[in-house]
Chains A and B, each alone.
Chain A
Amino acid sequence: MELHRATLPNGLRVLIAPDPNTPVVAVAVHVDVGFRSEPEGRTGFAHLFEHLMFQGSESLEKLAHFRHVQGSGGIFNGSTHQDYTDYFEVLPAAALERALFLEADRLRAPRLTEENLRNQVDVVKEEIRLNVLNRPYGGFPWILLPPVLYDTFPNAHNGYGDFSELEQASLDDAAAFFDTYYAPGNAQVTVAGYLDVDETLRLVEKHFGDIPARPTPPRPSFFEPLPENERRRSVTDAHAPLPALAIGYRLPDPGTDLDAYLGHALLGSVLGEGEAARLQRRLVHGDGLVTDVSASAGLMGSLDARDPDTFTITAIHPAEVDPERVLAAVDEELDKLAAAGPSEDELARQVARWSAALYQETDREVYRMLGLGARELLFGRAELAVELPARLAAITPDQVAAAAAKLRSSGRGVLFVEPKGEQA
């Protein structure tokens, strides 16, 4: 895969990944701020601000951004993660310059108004009602588990936000947030698809080049000490018909020890991926303790956040099953893996599945572009997307065993979700 990098004089980073075989082009701006950076008393602000960035800019009335993207034949979205926020669109290749113009205009001069702020607070509240409050297992585990495992506000709080704090958000908060975090030196433009590299770089310079440089905020460390023992918490879910539990462990820092991180990622697959996975065989079929079980590295996906991030095991189980039995069986399976590791074949099969999944991601220009962009922003290595199959293939059974042993010897957070009772 061909990758080209540049940095504009105002500090904006540029990543270009041509693909001669597609009729489309994908463009994103990644900003190096996520919900971990939002201040106390303003939970949900990073996500709310993401919504505001779609509400118009100096050259674009409210609604114009959507209309220009879709009216050019494209699709768009944005998303807020722990450590970054992305804004992206995929369009026919003919619309490349238009897409860059639209992204540049809002990174230069977004139109932040009281009316749009109030409107988007209402929209975000509906988003939260839809995805969390009005459905079973809403926010499980991404909102509910972090406060059990973490102590500090950045890591523990609800990234969707409390309604009362969303309602208190002011226009001045938005201005401060933009000036602090949306400096060009804190952002990156990624362009992938059918394009000419030199021409694309020229267009990026043309549209983004005159955004004045501003001080780039120091990147905070969100490190906190590892938990020394097990913490537990129970929550009630008014809509859930069955109890559920989530176990959270700390992951190794992917920035300083990628192989240890990948050992955990493969441990997640060996435990949970497919019918032959250890926890599927033991908990779902052997003991019949749970309805469904999963295990994975990364609260919002693998290699999607800097340190600290979470290794998660979740299960939904019948009310008559004591959750202690589920925990005990998980511990036993981890002990077995810590003692003997997975077999060579077992591991090779999981690596083959990862490779296939990475190819499928690469086959969609939007995922290819977002994967490259996020890994470049977080770790300075877009190449990870290409190197991952080989890096994973080099992980040994011993490294997976070491990951299992690490989970067993460290503290963890355990969340229990209890149904409220009689269901509608």
Chain B
Amino acid sequence: MSVVAHRSAEEIGRTALGPRPLPPLGPTREVPLPDVVEHVLSTGLRVLAARRASVPMVELRLRVPYAARSPEDTAVAEVLSSTLLTGTATKDRVAIDDELATVGGELNVSVDPERLAVTGSALASGLTTLLDVLADVLTSATFADDEVARERTRLIERLAVALAQPRTIAREALQRKRFGDHPITREMPRPAEVETVTAEQVRALHAVSTVPRGSILTLVGDIDPDTAIAEVERALGGWSSERTARELTPPPAPKPDDLELVHRPGSVQSQLRLSAPALTRHDPDYSTLQLANLVFGGYFSSRWMENVREDKGYTYGAHSGIEQVPGGAVLSVETDVASDVTAAALLETRYELARMVAVPPTAAELESARAYAIGSLAISLDNQGGLAGTLTGLAADGLGVDWLRERPARLSAVTVDEVAEIALRFFTPTAFTGVVVGDAEVIGTRVRALGGVS
């Protein structure tokens, strides 16, 4: 490779002029968030619509609270989400897809312990078609026996693939460790549970659970909000039920505990997953905790990432974030590291948590985190899909677009002292629980010897 004449590495890194100063920032450019028009249909469906005409598209999000009534519901709901688009009284799966494709449209269905979600988009000129297809599947999905049987088989095969993913194994272990047997832990059914799901069960669940009261439908795009809401009223007015969509009960707050070592034979990496209680978006100190978390491990320029990746080379990525759960919030601290450095990486993780308490974030660290929080928020909302998803998630939590508009001001108001105080409250290493997933025969001795791992 070194056959051609070239400069040395040292020569490349030097110029006659020498190092140059960083240019200052220019004038700030603000693009206000659009107004959100809100309307509750007589059926109880809450509709949000906002105009953002950046491209001639419309984004759709439907969120139906979908808490299980019994442990079996998890498997039934998963089959339901795989079969909702496979046929109605008037159309088969191919006809449904053809109709959507005609307007460049898509609908996708997913379910988790909290909600059933339908995510869609279409050319803005096809909004009527998109809503008509949605209304058709919501009110007259047939869940035909043969479609349920086929999707059940596929789901079992897909679950086998998902359950072989280390990130899934670690997620399941973490959920059990921090939330015990609360239904929030049932993110994925076992293949054996799916095996016995019948079409009747799916139809019954759809009838009682897929209901408009308590649900939210959001439309963002090149639309007139009032016209779009009238369209929703026309198309979805017939979707009704006496029942109210079922919210998941709050899980217990995670309790401090030893990390649980979970054996995954043959693993060449280990997953470290630590967790502790955090604050909800309603809490006046939420912005402060968000900034403290950024400094710890919430972005690339965080203490933890700079330590375990850029200094030590233990990992490709390390991230900590605040996860909202019903009635509360949790801090999740996550990295995947090579097996032979698992104990070392855990030691550094605890060190950085403790350092948040002992050596609180500096003014410079806070300013960087603040600029990132404000800038990355604007970037994430600068497209129809990002805005639609964010508005839906906030609405489900009782928050509106004003909360988003006021975020930069709230973040700007946070002081160094407040961050120091919140770090003291939330980052004590002994406040955490969690799991270490890896090949116990390789990592077990050293990880256990650190203490606090069982």
Contacts and interface: CB of A to CB of B under 8 A. Distances in A.
Contacts of A97: 23-24, 26
A217 to B, nearest CB: 9
Contact of B7 (A105, A175, A291): A175
A160 to B, nearest CB: 12
A108 B14 CA distance: 9
Contacts of B283: none
A57 B13 contact: yes
Interface in A220-254: 238-242
Contacts of B121: 356, 360
A194 B27 CA distance: 12
Nearest to B265: A424
Contact of A110 (B13, B24, B29): B13
A381 interface: no
B109 interface: no
Interface in B48-64: 54-57
A142 interface: no
Contacts of A264: none
A216 interface: no
Interface stretch (B180-188, B252-260, B370-378, B415-423): B370-378
A180 B31 CA distance: 43
Interface string A125-143: 1110110011111000000
Contacts of A177: 1
A130 B104 contact: no
Contacts of B23: 97-98, 101
A21 B98 contact: no
Contacts of A63: 301, 306, 310
A134 B8 contact: no
Contacts of A68: 22
A331 interface: no
A363 B57 contact: yes
A122 interface: yes
B378 A92 contact: yes
Contacts of A123: 309-310, 313, 315-316
Contacts of B425: none
Nearest to A275: B97
A39 interface: yes
A93 B20 contact: no
Nearest to B155: A291
Given A74-B375, A171-B9, A276-B94, A316 B161 contact: yes
Interface string A110-122: 1111000011111
Contacts, number: 279
Nearest to B8: A175
B103 A352 contact: yes
Size bracket of the B interface: 35 or more
A175 B28 CA distance: 39
Contact of B300 (A70, A127, A423): A70
A318 B157 contact: yes
Interface stretch (B379-387, B390-398, B443-451): B379-387
Interface stretch (B207-215, B239-247, B266-274): B266-274
B29 A126 contact: no
A312 to B, nearest CB: 19
B363 interface: no
Interface stretch (A281-289, A398-406, A408-416): A281-289
Given A101-B22, A172-B2, A356-B121, A179 B12 contact: yes
Contacts of A301: none
B284 interface: no
Contacts of A176: 1-2, 4, 6
Given A171-B9, A240-B164, A285 B150 contact: yes
A384 interface: no
Interface in B313-330: 313-317
Interface string B100-132: 111111100000000000000111000000000
B359 interface: no
A275 B372 contact: no
A23 B2 contact: no
A284 B82 CA distance: 13
Interface of B: 1-2, 4, 6-9, 11-15, 17-31, 54-57, 85-86, 93-94, 96-98, 100-106, 121-123, 150, 153-154, 157-158, 160-161, 163-167, 264-269, 299-301, 306, 309-317, 336-338, 367-368, 371-372, 374-376, 378-379, 382-386
5 contacts: A41-B1, A70-B300, A71-B368, A74-B376, A292-B154
Q: Which 5 A-B pairs give the minimum distances between C-beta atoms?
A: A73-B375, A122-B313, A356-B104, A349-B101, A179-B6
Given A123-B313, A173-B2, 7 more contacts: A41-B1, A118-B313, A130-B269, A179-B6, A292-B158, A345-B98, A364-B383
